Structure 1
Amino acid sequence: MQTVKVAEILGDDTPDSQQTPDQVNSRFISPHFIKWCTLTLIGLMNGYASILMYSRGETSFAVLTLILTSLALYIFGSKKTYAHRYIYPGVAGMILFIIFPLVYTVGIAFTNYSATNQLSFERAQSVLLDNTYQSGDSYKFDLYRSENGYRLAVKDGAQLLVTSEINLTKPESLRLTLNATDDVVGSKAKIKDIIKNRATLNNVDLVLPNGNEIRMSGLRKFAAVQPLYRVESDGTTLVNNKDNTVLIPNMDTGFYQTIDAEGNYIGDPLAPGFTVVIGTANFERIWQDDGIKEPFISIFFWTIIFSGLSVLATVIIGLVLASIVQWEALRGRAVYRMLLILPYAVPSFISILIFKGLFNQSFGEINMVLEAMFGLSPSWFSDPISAKAMVLMVNIWLGFPYMMILSMGMLKSIPDDLYEASALDGAGPLQNFKNITFPMMMKPLLPLMIASFSFNFNNFVLIQLLTQGGPNMIGTSEPAGYTDLLVNYTYRIAFEGAGGQDFGLASAITTLIFLLVGGLALFNLRFTKLSEK
């Protein structure tokens, strides 16, 4: 690699013998040298971070860090790829925020990852090995404050046993010997001092005169404590020290369990569980468990109906209103246009919460008007059909201004010559709309309709703020509601599951949603290409 001399760049032809040492050294500073030093430093730092993440069980994040770092070093370190350095932030963002979450979610779909199975096998085993049980007598104790620290006093029958003085903020030793005495020097500390120093006291081992050790087992007592489990030589089998029960890890369910003489797993699973790969079991649950299959199918069709009706209604209303506000004979068009755009200008969550109050079954203004005029008082939040109708009405209200704005722009693009020629043929407004306006607008509007369908397919905010999926279905294995969309149903399984948070099943449903929405996106792209020909 040829170095760049600063003197040559600046036009300095002074002989080396007449230059200072700093000038001589500065001639050999190379931009490539600085770049490679920077890349090396970044590589070492991210490599060390990856090792730390891997050591803590975060393998996926360690791999992600290595991929992003390797890609950066390749792009910025190679002359062939250096021209692509400007697109690296976009590529890295796509990997970090799109590809990685997708791959991570699909990976979880093939595991039993849930509220009860969150840990790795090694971590779950470590937690179980940290469990203890009281294996001997307990002894009441008191904490005494002395001049330079504290003393621990334990009563063994009529005998008083005391430790040497210890500084609990900076303990010199966590293994203290108890000695018999007649009196304790110092004043008895209050319970708040024990609570304050409990973290240190929990790590103190007291040695009785007979050699037995006791540890803190409560705010007022020490006791002989031993580990509840011990691990056998194979590294996986646990034995209960209290009753000598043998526990074997069940790699199908992710729990330690006892086994019978034939090697079959019996008894209750031992928490905490650990994460294991279960193959397609989560996907099979969707089709085999009636408590999941029936609500899933019902919610799937409701999601399609909700998305389709929302798009169809907003397009029709938006197109009609756009045609009206574009009518030159209409006075005050600007005022009407502004009023019709207002629902789109107001943040959607505010409008949804307002509608939630308006549709209140007891005090809402909508029911008051309906009851006064027609004697009706619909149960918007408890009746499935009424709830679905309410959700559709609110979504149409929020969506029609967007379609109206699009239609207004598209109407402007239609040549006036077509309407003039139609007028000469004696056509009226309805015939113009049928033969000119509608056909001319549908071609550019259809891709936007498909995009709107995809958005409504995952319209999580509307359902969550308005009905929270209710009214709830009865007899389901996982929480499900009549107004739930697939995305809301997935959220409820992931965070509100009947048997705890079931992230594996939620990820399986998310994977299916991705395939459906991805198919719509591909169809949209395919249609756009065909329309451009």
Structure 2
Amino acid sequence: MAVPESDTVGASAHGAPTRPPLPGGRWARDGSLAGRIVKIGLLGLFTALGAWALLPLYLAGNWLGLGLVVAVVALVYHVYLSRRAVPAKYLVPGVLFLLAFQILPVLYTMSTSVTNMSDGHRGDKQQAINAVESLSVTRAPDSEEYVLTVATTGDPDTGELVFLLTDGGGEAFVGDADGLAGLGGATVDASGKVTEAFGYTILSPVQVNARSAELEEFAVPTGSGTGIRSSGLSTAYEGTAVRSYDAGCDCVTDGETGTVYVADDERGAFVSEDGDRLPQGWRVNVGLDNFARFLLDPTFASSFFGILVWNIVFAVAVTGLVFVVGLAVALTLHVPRMRGKVVYRILVVLPYAMSSLAMYLLWRDMFNTDFGLFNRMLGLQVDWFGNAWSARAAVILANVWLGYPYMFLVSTGALQAIPRELEQAARIDGASAWQAFRHVTLPLLMVAMTPILVAVFAFNFNNFNAVWLLTRGGPLFSDNSTAGATDLLITYTYRLAFNEATAQYGYAAALSVMIFVIVSVISVVSLWRSRALKEVD
């Protein structure tokens, strides 16, 4: 009697059973049709993102970035179109996100920390020479005029400015800090204004006015001693530079005053004999000078170490207080026979459920001198944010109020995981309630809480919003306008990098590296010290 083919199980040549085929003779390894459609859709989306990233890299001439994007796209296709690289299918997304959002920013910050990068020292030496010459351009009576359209190479608010120019013959050009080039494929209206250009974002009059200060300082170098500058919002002119660069002496000569500025390659600037230097410089490697600056220079060292001490006090105080308050509330609501615990827990968690941004602004208004809640209720006229110690107390109080609900939730979960029989056995053996908590409950609780406390400490050490939204780091010290009484290292770094007339990116990057090292060392030491708690576990 023949056995139906559908009832047989396949066997190898050695008699070992093999996996039965799916209906229709197809194997499960190919996946379902829906799975294939999802895979194709995701790969198509990833390819579109890669193509979107390639265009600006190509226009900027960033060949390294271009090659990196192509390599990543090729890797993703190789992994997800292969039937063998199963583990990589799960590892690749996490590794790519880790590289993009953690490793590369850290490496870029570290590379910036050993340079003099700041306002006036962002580009290379040739860009500095172009800026020196083009920004000293003066208009001659017979200078050529262009119809001007202001555009950017990216975001209208932050992208690099470019000039889209049309001469008297209707020919279009594009000019940036590197020079002038022809503009092909542009759409020009009857007045000569460029209305559309591939790869550029044309700014509206409102957007141009918002960047008028940058526009006044922007010029396009067109050759030795000449450049193009704007005259209003719709015209530009080509003029002659007062300051010119001579490669023979590696210097810049001012044609009006006769002053000679010699290139100083160690400082990345053109410096005259009397010590004056031009504001246009270039980026150079300064080694560990930025680190030595805030460790050894008296002016910067006093600010750095003062802020560091307050930073540690703030992080320890907030972490300790939120732990004590959150645990106390959790113990209070952990009583078995207490009624209405659900309502109480909801009320306790409310601060954590609200927007921290809105809560910080609310607390700032509550500490207002004239109409703040605290002064109204207590009948005081205290300038909470005008005095160093009252401002620090206000910052700590606001953060404890916002942070203790989280610690309450964590403590509640940890307490529920500890058997009540252990505490009851201790009480039967004659221990008081405090002794039972101190020697039984708390050690078991700390096994779960110690890593969380370390994480809370690290978060508060870099809690930018906690200070910036309340006090902006103030009150500022009378002898140092870059440091305040409530500044954390992160807000001090932000002020140096983005809130100064001469933004000091290299110095701020060095501070960021130091913050990373400090937090890492404290976290590692804390977790290593907590290994003793494993004996309790």
**TM-score, normalised via structure 1 length:** 0.69
User: What RMSD over aligned residues (CA atoms) do the two structures have, in Å?
Assistant: 4.3
Query: Larger C-alpha radius of gyration, 1 or 2?
Result: 1
Aligned equivalent of 1:520? 522
Residues 173-221 of structure 1, C-alpha deviations (whole Å, 9 max, x = no match):
78xxxxxxxxxxxxxxxxxxxxx7699xxx9xxxxxxxxxxx99968x9
Post-superposition offset of 1:80: 7.5
Given that 2:114 and 2:510 are in contact with CA atoms closer than 8 Å, whether structure 1 keeps it comes out as yes
Amino acid at match of 2:416: K
Distance 2:135 2:108 in 1: 32
Post-superposition offset of 1:234: 5.0
Aligned equivalent of 1:311? 319
Distance 2:306 2:67 in 1: 39
Distance 1:377 1:239 in 2: 59
Distance 2:345 2:139 in 1: 81
Aligned equivalent of 2:169? 172
Q: Counterpart of 1:270 in 2: which secondary structure?
A: coil
Post-superposition offset of 1:171: 3.9
Aligned equivalent of 2:443? 439
Are residues 526 and 222 of structure 1, via their aligned partners in 2, closer, same or farther at CA, if it must alter by over 3 Å?
closer
Amino acid at match of 1:496: N
**1:57-456 correspondence to structure 2 within 5 Å:** 61=65, 65=69, 68=72, 72=76, 83-131=87-135, 133=137, 171-172=168-169, 225-232=239-246, 234=248, 236-240=250-254, 246-258=260-272, 260=273, 266-371=274-379, 376-456=380-460
Are residues 352 and 283 of structure 1, via their aligned partners in 2, closer, same or farther at CA, if it must alter by over 3 Å?
same
Residues 471-499 of structure 1, C-alpha deviations (whole Å, 9 max, x = no match):
111212x51111111111110111123x5
**More off after superposition, 359-368 vs 93-102:** 359-368
Residues 132-184 of structure 1, C-alpha deviations (whole Å, 9 max, x = no match):
65586679x9xxxxxxxxxxxxxxxxxxxxxxxxxx9784378xxxxxxxxxx
Given that 2:496 and 2:505 are in contact with CA atoms closer than 8 Å, whether structure 1 keeps it comes out as yes
Aligned equivalent of 1:482? 485
Given that 2:322 and 2:400 are in contact with CA atoms closer than 8 Å, whether structure 1 keeps it comes out as yes
Count of matched residue positions in the alignment of Structure 1 and Structure 2: 429
Given that 1:138 and 1:223 are in contact with CA atoms closer than 8 Å, whether structure 2 keeps it comes out as no
Amino acid at match of 1:416: R
Post-superposition offset of 1:271: 3.1
Distance 1:485 1:230 in 2: 45
Amino acid at match of 1:101: P
Given that 2:489 and 2:515 are in contact with CA atoms closer than 8 Å, whether structure 1 keeps it comes out as yes
Residues 21-46 of structure 1, C-alpha deviations (whole Å, 9 max, x = no match):
xxxxxxxxxxxxxx9xx99x98xx88
Q: Counterpart of 2:315 in 1: which secondary structure?
A: helix
Post-superposition offset of 1:245: 5.2
Given that 1:137 and 1:224 are in contact with CA atoms closer than 8 Å, whether structure 2 keeps it comes out as no
Amino acid at match of 1:295: S
Aligned equivalent of 1:190? none
Structure 2, unmatched stretches of 5+, are: 1-23, 26-39, 146-164, 172-190, 195-218, 220-227
Aligned equivalent of 2:512? 510
Distance 1:505 1:216 in 2: 32
Amino acid at match of 2:483: A
Given that 1:138 and 1:224 are in contact with CA atoms closer than 8 Å, whether structure 2 keeps it comes out as no
Post-superposition offset of 1:331: 2.6
Amino acid at match of 1:484: D
**TM-score, normalised via structure 2 length:** 0.68
Distance 1:64 1:527 in 2: 42
Amino acid at match of 1:515: V
Distance 2:266 2:416 in 1: 64
Given that 1:113 and 1:275 are in contact with CA atoms closer than 8 Å, whether structure 2 keeps it comes out as yes
Q: Counterpart of 1:378 in 2: which secondary structure?
A: coil
User: What is the percentage of aligned positions where both structures have the same residue?
Assistant: 30
Amino acid at match of 1:406: V
Distance 1:217 1:420 in 2: 83
Q: Counterpart of 1:518 in 2: which secondary structure?
A: helix
Distance 2:312 2:377 in 1: 32
Distance 1:380 1:305 in 2: 19
Post-superposition offset of 1:449: 0.6
Q: Counterpart of 1:248 in 2: which secondary structure?
A: strand
Distance 1:346 1:381 in 2: 24
Q: Counterpart of 2:271 in 1: which secondary structure?
A: strand
Given that 1:472 and 1:482 are in contact with CA atoms closer than 8 Å, whether structure 2 keeps it comes out as yes
Distance 1:67 1:217 in 2: 42
Aligned equivalent of 2:32? none
Amino acid at match of 2:502: G
Post-superposition offset of 1:500: 1.3
Distance 1:494 1:381 in 2: 24
Given that 2:443 and 2:533 are in contact with CA atoms closer than 8 Å, whether structure 1 keeps it comes out as no
Aligned equivalent of 1:156? none
Residues 480-528 of structure 1, C-alpha deviations (whole Å, 9 max, x = no match):
111111111110111123x511111100100000111222343466467
Distance 1:112 1:531 in 2: 46
Distance 2:102 2:128 in 1: 31
Given that 1:256 and 1:269 are in contact with CA atoms closer than 8 Å, whether structure 2 keeps it comes out as yes
Distance 1:480 1:528 in 2: 35
Are residues 216 and 504 of structure 1, via their aligned partners in 2, closer, same or farther at CA, if it must alter by over 3 Å?
closer
Distance 1:333 1:416 in 2: 18
Are residues 67 and 99 of structure 1, via their aligned partners in 2, closer, same or farther at CA, if it must alter by over 3 Å?
farther
Q: Counterpart of 1:256 in 2: which secondary structure?
A: strand
